A and B are shown apart, each in its own frame.
Chain A
Amino acid sequence: MSAPTAVDPAERGRLDIHPTVLRKIVEYTADRTPGTLRRARTVAGVDLGSSGATAKVTVGGDGTAVDVRLELSLRYPDPVRATVAAVRARVAEELERLAGRHVRTLSITVSDLRPG
C-alpha cells in the first residue's frame, strides 16, 4: 500500500464565487453606506414595501477584476460626490475582503435624490 502523495494545501481544490454572491455583497454594502436610501416599491399606487440598491456585477477576464453597475437612491442634500466616494470605498473593500475581487469600474445610476 503506497503512501498518499503530499499535496500543497493551496493546490487541493479551487474556489469559484458565483457572480450572484458578488452582486449581493455589493448591494448589501451599498445599502449600509450612510447617505443611501431604500426605495418605496409601488404598482399602480399599491405599496409593495421597499427595495434597496440593485447591482449587476461582471467579472473581468482574469477573474479577479469586476465591473459593477449599481442603481441606488441617495439622501439629498447630502453631497453626491462624498456619498458615491463612500459607496465605492466600502464596496471595493468588502469585495476585496470577502471575495478577493477588486473593482475595476463602477457605474452608478442615481434613481432618486430625496430627503432621508
Chain B
Amino acid sequence: MRVLLRILAPVLGLGLAAVGAVLVAEVVAAWVWSAGPGLLVPWSAWRAAVEDIRWREPAVPLAALAVAVLGLLLVLLGLLARRNDIVLIGRGVDTTVTTSPRVLARLVGRRVRAADAVAAASITATARKVHVRAQGRDRAGPGLRETVHVEVDGVLDELSLARRPRVTVTVQESRTVSELASSPFNTAASANAGDERSEEFT
C-alpha cells in the first residue's frame, strides 16, 4: 500500500501542477486574445458542451458518484498505508520504542543464515508474523525446521517485543553447491523501509 501511495502521490501532484500551468497559460492567452478559442485547451467548445447539460440529466449524479468513490478510495488508501512499526517497548508509557519490519527481517536473516545447517534463507517480517523460508545444506538433517525455529525464537527473546509475532518456517529441499548458485534465494536483498512487510533474500 505504501508503495502504491508513494507512486500515486507524485503522479497526482504532477497532474495538478500540469493543470495549474495550463490554467495560467489559458488565462494569459485569454487576456491577450480575448475572443480566442483557447491556446492549449478548447475551452470554448467545452463550455458550450457543459452549458447544454442540465442538472436533471443522469450524467450529473453519475459523475458526482464517480468523484466521490474516487475520493473515498484515496482516503482508504491513505488510511491503510500507515506505518506498521514493530513495538519494542510498549505504548502508553512515557517512552516508546519502535522499529521497522525491515530491521527485524535483517536480524532474523542474519541469525538464521549463520546456522551451519542453513544454506540460504528468505525472511518476511511484519508486526504479527515472521515467516522464514530456509534451504538446508547437503548434510542438513531432518531437524532443519526446528533449528531455524530455535534461531528465530532466540532473536525474538532477545528483543523482548511488546507483542511477539507468530513464527512460521518453510524448509526447502537440501541442494548441492552448484544448485545453490542458481537458487532464487541468492538474489540481492530487497526490502522496502516503509512497506507493511519486509522481505530479505540471500
Contacts and interface: CB of A to CB of B under 8 A. Distances in A.
Contacts of B106: 112-114
Contacts of B159: 80
A110 B95 contact: no
Interface in B87-124: 88-89, 94-100, 103, 106-107
A88 to B, nearest CB: 6
A64 interface: no
A79 B155 CA distance: 11
B85 interface: yes
A103 B96 CA distance: 13
A44 to B, nearest CB: 14
Contacts of B97: 80, 84, 107-110
Interface string A7-45: 000000000000000000000000000000000000000
B158 interface: yes
Contact of B98 (A103, A108, A114): A108
Contacts, number: 52
Main secondary structure of the interface of A (DSSP, over half): strand
Contacts of A104: 94
B96 A76 contact: no
A79 B96 CA distance: 15
B85 A108 contact: no
B95 A111 contact: no
Contacts of B100: 109, 111
Contact of B85 (A106, A109, A112, A113): A109
Nearest to B83: A109
9 shortest interchain CB distances as A-B pairs: A110-B99, A108-B97, A107-B96, A106-B95, A105-B94, A84-B97, A109-B98, A113-B103, A80-B88
Interface of B: 85, 88-89, 94-100, 103, 106-107, 158-160
